[in-house]
Structures are given as structure tokens and as C-alpha cells.
């Protein structure tokens, strides 16, 4: 008898929602280029602008400040550059400061030379070390240009929420720019670009139940913008050339609209499921380590270690039992290795860590079946340890 597999890897990609799928398929059947002036082109343009409004609303931004990209990685590479314009006036960014727990798309530094990218320490609780940020900004050589700081709102591995308001205050005092990766935050906690104090926010469609291949760079205003990464026909007001993907953007807009509408119920429903999971995990394996548990976290993420169990071994064991989870970021070509997030937090690098991430359609039955699998794997680990 075949048992239905259990999907516990929403932080890697969320299942496409029914609303996003319907919007995607409807737009997929439409003919036309949004840059054309005939009726078919205008219809596509209207669809794209509707999606822009929905995505803007997800982070309380103005639609005119949303630049669509192929995903969050492209958005990061677009905004992480030394070269900006304030209107028509060139503006130089001297150095980029990134927290040690950023997604690889940000840690790589975009278009900054490697010697202009500086890593900021984090605390053992998984939050950026504000003292380290203070020191970096105090030592910033203003003659090179303004400082740029990039800090994610929610860590993709631990689910820990970063103190962005405190970061923003420091960046503004230093006259710098703040870029916030909100990929794992939107749809899970309220996000307002103004309240964050961010100059730019990065979003991805597939993390909120939209199709893959769509993302956005959201700016606080229209005046300050990076030099374009992709040049060509001048789409997206010249900020990102290339014919838009209307089907992906329609799905992105529908997913954004649905995520914002469900935000009030999301936290309570998903937190109850995660609490059930983590309580049972502690009962089955009292030595389980849940990382970031003493910090504010989004409701859907559990990042844990079982001493003596390697990440790769654990991931395979869960997969063979029908549970899909991950060993941290899923954006490293399938590599399973030491978590740079755990290393930055000062955890034992020998620890293997696994991530369970759930969503609003996760069921109690799926949680309970995952708990059963966890208990079996933890039990086999104890037997192996005793035999050794």
C-alpha cells in the first residue's frame, strides 16, 4: 500500500495555490506582448499592472516602486551594486555589509567587488550582532561612498526574525542604504517597507504559493534606483529590460493577494501545528536541539539537530520514510554540507541540522505522521549509538 508523501519543505518552495494556478493558466492562454499598443498588448499590460498592485500591497509599497524580475536572486544582484542614481545624479556606494546568515544570493555580494563586501557577525540566538554593525558603520570610509547594509527579515533556515527596525535606525544615522530580503517573511508576518525603514525589499513568488520564475525588487520611492542589471528594450521603466512573463506575474499577483488576505489567520493556525510538532519531538528525543527557539521566529519553521545524526543521513532517512524536508537552504544545487547559519551562530560545526517548514494547508495528520517518522529515526540513532 502506497502512503501519500508528506511535504515539509515550504521554505524551499511553497505548493502553488489554487488562486495562483488559475491566474497562471488563464494568462498562459493569452496572446500578446505588454509593450504592444494593440488590444492584445494592452490586455497583457493590464494584467501585469494588476499583478504589480497586488505585489506592492503585500509590503505596503507603491505599485510604481515595484520592479519585476525573474526571481529573488536576480533582484539581489540588481540592487547589490556600487552604482546608483538619485534621479539623474550618480550616487556611489562604497561598501556592502551583509549579515553572516544571509542567503547565498545576498552573501555573494551581487556586483560589488569581493574586497568591498564585509560580513557582520550574528549572536548565538541567530540575530544580527548590532554592536558589530555599529563598529562597521563607525569605521566605514566615507570617502569611498555611502555604506549599504543587507539584512534579511526572516532567516530561511532558522525562521528567526531579525531586528530590522534597530538595523534601519543605525543605517540611517550613518547615511547609508538598507536592503531587506523579505522572501521568507511576506505572507507570514506583516511587512511594510516604510515601517521597516528599508530602502529596498526583495520578494519571490514561489515562496508564497506563486509560480517559480518571478520575483520583485521593491523600492521605497522612485527617485533612488540602482543601475540596470539587464539592458535592452527598456521594460520595467528601464530598470529591468526583457519581455515580461505575464503568466508567472499573474500567478505572483494572485498569490500575493491571497497571502495578504490570509495573514491574520496564518500565524495562529500554523503556530499551533509547529507547537504540536516540537513538543512531540522533545518527547521522542529529549536531546533534540531546536535552533533559534529563544528568539522571535515565524510560525512555520523548525530547524533542529539530533546529536550524532548527520544532515545528509537524516535527510535521506526522512525521504525514504516519505517526508520531504531539507538541510537548510535549497538553493545550492542540491549540496548538503555544514550550515553557514549554524556556524555563524557559534554552534558545533559537526552538528547536522534539518529544517521542517510547513504552511497553511499542512494538516494535523501530516504533522503526526512526521512525528512518527522522527521518533523512528531518533530511536534508530540511539540503538546505533548503544551498539557502538
Dihedral of CA 25/54/237/75: which sign?
Answer: negative
- 3-state DSSP percent of the chain in helix, strand and coil, to 5: 40, 20, 40
Beta-bridged to residue 181, according to DSSP, are 202
Q: Output phi, psi for 117, to 5 deg.
A: -110, 120
How far is the CA of 265 from the CAs of 73, 272, 285, 297, 360, in angstroms?
29, 11, 31, 16, 9
Residue 129 DSSP SS3: coil
Which candidate, 261, 254, 125, places its Cα nearest to that of 190? Answer: 261
> Which DSSP letter does residue 82 get?
S
Out of 100, 330, 331, 343, the active site residue is 331
How far is the CA of 185 from the CAs of 52, 53, 192, in angstroms?
18, 19, 11
Environment class of residue 324 by beta-carbon count within 10 Å: exposed (0-12), middle (13-18) or buried (19+)?
Answer: middle
Known catalytic residue at 331: yes
Residue 283 DSSP SS3: helix
Which candidate, 159, 141, 137, places its Cα nearest to that of 149? Answer: 137
Q: Which residues of 28-58 are buried (b: 16+ CB within 10 A; e: fewer)?
A: eeeebebeeeeeeeebbbebbbbbbebbbbb
Rounded CA gap, 8 and 352, in Å? Answer: 18
- What are the catalytic residues? 331
Amino acid at each position: 500500500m502506497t502512503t501519500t508523501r508528506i511535504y515539509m519543505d515550504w521554505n524551499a518552495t511553497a505548493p502553488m495555490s489554487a488562486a495562483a494556478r488559475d491566474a497562471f493558466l488563464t494568462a498562459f492562454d493569452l496572446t500578446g506582448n505588454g509593450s504592444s499598443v494593440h488590444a492584445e498588448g494592452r490586455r497583457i499590460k493590464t494584467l501585469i499592472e494588476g499583478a504589480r498592485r497586488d505585489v506592492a500591497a503585500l509590503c505596503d509599497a507603491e505599485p510604481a516602486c515595484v520592479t519585476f524580475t525573474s526571481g529573488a536572486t536576480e533582484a539581489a544582484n540588481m540592487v547589490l551594486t556600487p552604482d546608483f542614481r538619485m534621479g539623474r545624479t550618480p550616487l556611489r556606494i562604497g561598501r556592502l555589509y551583509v549579515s553572516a546568515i544571509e542567503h547565498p544570493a545576498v552573501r555573494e555580494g551581487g556586483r560589488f567587488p569581493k574586497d568591498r563586501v564585509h560580513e557582520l557577525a550574528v549572536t548565538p540566538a541567530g540575530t544580527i550582532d548590532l554592536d558589530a554593525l555599529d563598529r562597521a558603520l563607525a569605521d566605514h570610509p566615507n570617502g569611498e561612498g555611502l555604506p549599504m547594509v543587507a539584512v534579511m527579515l526572516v532567516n530561511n533556515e532558522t525562521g528567526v526574525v531579525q531586528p530590522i527596525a534597530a538595523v534601519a535606525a543605525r543605517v540611517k544615522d550613518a547615511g547609508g542604504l538598507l536592503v531587506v530580503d523579505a522572501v521568507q517573511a511576506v505572507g507570514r508576518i506583516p511587512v511594510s517597507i516604510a515601517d521597516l525603514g528599508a530602502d529596498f525589499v526583495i520578494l519571490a513568488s514561489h515562496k508564497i504559493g506563486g509560480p517559480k520564475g518571478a520575483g520583485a525588487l521593491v523600492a521605497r520611492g522612485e527617485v533612488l534606483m540602482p543601475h540596470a542589471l539587464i539592458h535592452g528594450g527598456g521594460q520595467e521603466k528601464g530598470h529591468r529590460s526583457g519581455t515580461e512573463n505575464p503568466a508567472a506575474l499573474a500567478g505572483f499577483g494572485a498569490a500575493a493577494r491571497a497571502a495578504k488576505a490570509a495573514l491574520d489567520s496564518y500565524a495562529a493556525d500554523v503556530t499551533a501545528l509547529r507547537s504540536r510538532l516540537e513538543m512531540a519531538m522533545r518527547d521522542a528525543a529529549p536531546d533534540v536541539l531546536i535552533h533559534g527557539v529563544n528568539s522571535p521566529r515565524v510560525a512555520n519553521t523548525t530547524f533542529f539537530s539530533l546529536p550524532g545524526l548527520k544532515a545528509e543521513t537524516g535527510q535521506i532517512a526522512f525521504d525514504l520514510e516519505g517526508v520531504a524536508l531539507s538541510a537548510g537552504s535549497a538553493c545550492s544545487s542540491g549540496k548538503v554540507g555544514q550550515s553557514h547559519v549554524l556556524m555563524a551562530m557559534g554552534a558545533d560545526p559537526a552538528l547536522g541540522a534539518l529544517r521542517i517548514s510547513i504552511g497553511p494547508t499542512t494538516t494535523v495528520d501530516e504533522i503526526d505522521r512526521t512525528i512518527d517518522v522522527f521518533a523512528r529515526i531518533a530511536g534508530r540513532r540511539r540503538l546505533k549509538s548503544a551498539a557502538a
